Chain A
Amino acid sequence: MNLAGWIFLALGWSLATGLSVFCFYRILGKPKLQGSEEPKNPVIPTP
């Protein structure tokens, strides 16, 4: 594998893993389905 291949592999793996880690980190902070709880973010105003 050439250098560019390694760079793309690193980029692809980092993007896919990083996004998953970010999402699961946030989800594990709030693991329950709330349903009736007030939303953290209010409704986004009309763009």
Chain B
Amino acid sequence: MSNREAWASRIGLVLAMAGNAVGLGNFLRFPRQAALNGGGAYLIPYFVAFLALGIPLMWVEWAIGRYGGQFNQSTTAGQFDRMWRSGWAKVLGSLGISIPLLITIYYCYLESWTLSYTFFSLGKTYFGSTDQGAMNQFLRSYQGVVEGGPFQSMLPAIGFWVATLALNLWVLYRGISGGIEKLAKIAMPILVIFAIILVVRVITLGTPDPAFPDRNVGNGFGYVWNPDFSLLGSFPVWLAAAGQIFFTLSIGSGAIQTYASYLKKDDDCALTGLATSSTNEFVEVVLGGSIAIPIAVAFFGLEATKAIAAQGSFDLGFVAMPVIFQKLPLGFIFGALWFSLLFFAGITSSVALASPFVALLKENLGLSRVTAILVTGGVLLVFGLPIILLLQHGYMDQYDFWIGTVLLVVFSLIETLIFVFAFKRGGAAANSGGGGFRGWFKNAGVAGWEEMNRGADIRIPRFFFYVIKILLPLVLAFLLIGWIWEDVTSKSSVILMRGVEGEAAMFQWISRGSILLLMTGIAILVVVAFRRRPQ
């Protein structure tokens, strides 16, 4: 009998998976992307990408995870090994452990900003920094990027980061149903309630300053939703929409497979997977699109908001929003609601991202729960500290680009190819296509399709079989080439480290080295685990 952990309820599973998907990007990245890429017209490539890329890949990941779970394999290393009998399978699968762990390393630092700003809002710490310049100085001072300002040292930033790590580790220590599922059942409803309160506050703002009648909420929503069809022919807009779907659904990291591995053999994947995706879309499109940008237009006007949006998501969330909260009655409460909802969105994602590594330590390497959590905490501390201390040198930018952009797509492509072309369970279906290339191609994807549909509470339209088999690998390859091309042709290329010199270049190379070190280390751990303990 297996004594593996399991989900206690279906709703808990849906909320935990949705919590994995819903993150800071739903509230900060989506509205900015929509406003910059054609407003309402952006929804056309966005929903096309959701259908052609997001949903199929989500189903693929759920099916991989549930299949591996039958053999007590919680990580993609063991899952790929069961799907594809090749020495490469577990090595490639180790990416599904190292990628989410690397994301956790820098994501927990961003998450700690939201925790600290919740307390800064309640304590009115940033009140007095009434314009964007002053608030920018507040943030940079907190990060230790500039000398002076309200923070004399980096101790507050490090303290909140350690507290964030401790909270994450505590949830992970409590396990799947006792920790992660309970967190999701509390955090997700709170997140939605806080977001609805903020949306209602935004909608009822009207025109905050009658001296500037153009600065109103209607124009704010107009900036997000008024369609600019001329941008529909633009390749970068389609690339941006595909990228947003990728990030928002948290696909390509390996975390979904670990969560899904705790399902039973005939538990539904199709409807539950769709439910998590649609919950994420509700939070993103309905709630995420209705807070930051509309309120920024209402207070700063359209042109200033365009400038803020162009600067990046974090300036919108951590510079512009606190300035606005200072202008609102009871702003400290709305500030606390905003940053705590971001924190809940963050922590439900980071525990998911750390769970494949914890599963590797516990289930494949046989460590006790306490030891596994301590080792995870040690890795997060050792690899996370340089991210905090070397932020101004672009140390984190390397993580964000290589892990958060390139490797997510690389891993998605690998898992899709294995799922479609390498996964065979034998039986009639797998052998009905005859010999040669034609027969091989005809059989490709059949085992995966059957696995995906087993126990399904909804019938997945057959059209998705062809989407997964043919379209998905092509789209992913195209996306990878597109993003690399976009980077190397930009003035601030991360790959070519354009404009990075001296000390910053050295630190960025160290950052790349640390990524490689961790990936190699985990690949070695996986090989050792599988040799020591026959899986």
Q: Which residues of A contact B (CB under 8 A)?
A: 1-2, 4-9, 11-13, 15-17, 19-20, 22-24, 26-28, 30-41, 43-44, 46-47
Contact = CB atoms under 8 A, between A and B. Distances in A.
Contacts of B432: 46
A20 B9 contact: no
Contact of B457 (A24, A30, A35, A46): A30
B284 A16 contact: yes
A38 B455 CA distance: 7
| 5 closest residue pairs by CB, A with B | A8-B40, A35-B264, A1-B222, A23-B275, A19-B278
Interface stretch (B106-114, B136-144, B446-454, B481-489): B446-454
A14 to B, nearest CB: 10
B383 interface: no
A13 to B, nearest CB: 5
Nearest to B18: A20
B219 A33 contact: no
Interface string B244-276: 000000000000000000011111100110110
Range class of the B interface residue count: 35 or more
A46 B226 contact: no
Contacts of B43: 8, 11-12
A6 B226 CA distance: 8
Given A16-B282, A17-B286, A33-B264, A5 B10 contact: no
B353 interface: no
A34 B278 contact: no
Contact of A41 (B9, B40, B459): B459
B279 A20 contact: yes
A35 B10 CA distance: 11
Contact of A16 (B221, B265, B278, B454): B278
Nearest to B44: A8
Contact of A8 (B218, B227, B266, B465): B227
B299 interface: no
B28 to A, nearest CB: 18
Contacts of B274: 19, 23
Contacts of A2: 222, 226
A32 B450 CA distance: 23
B10 A30 contact: yes
B457 A40 contact: yes
Contacts of A22: 278
Contacts of B222: 1-2, 5
A34 B6 CA distance: 12
B444 to A, nearest CB: 11
Contact of A39 (B226, B263, B284, B455): B455
A5 B456 CA distance: 37
Contacts of B455: 34, 39-41
23 contacts: A1-B221, A2-B222, A8-B225, A19-B278, A20-B279, A22-B278, A23-B274, A23-B278, A24-B14, A24-B275, A26-B275, A27-B272, A30-B457, A31-B11, A34-B264, A34-B268, A35-B266, A39-B455, A41-B457, A44-B450, A46-B446, A47-B449, A47-B465
Interface in B362-417: none
B450 A43 contact: yes
A31 B225 contact: no
B11 A43 contact: no
A25 to B, nearest CB: 10
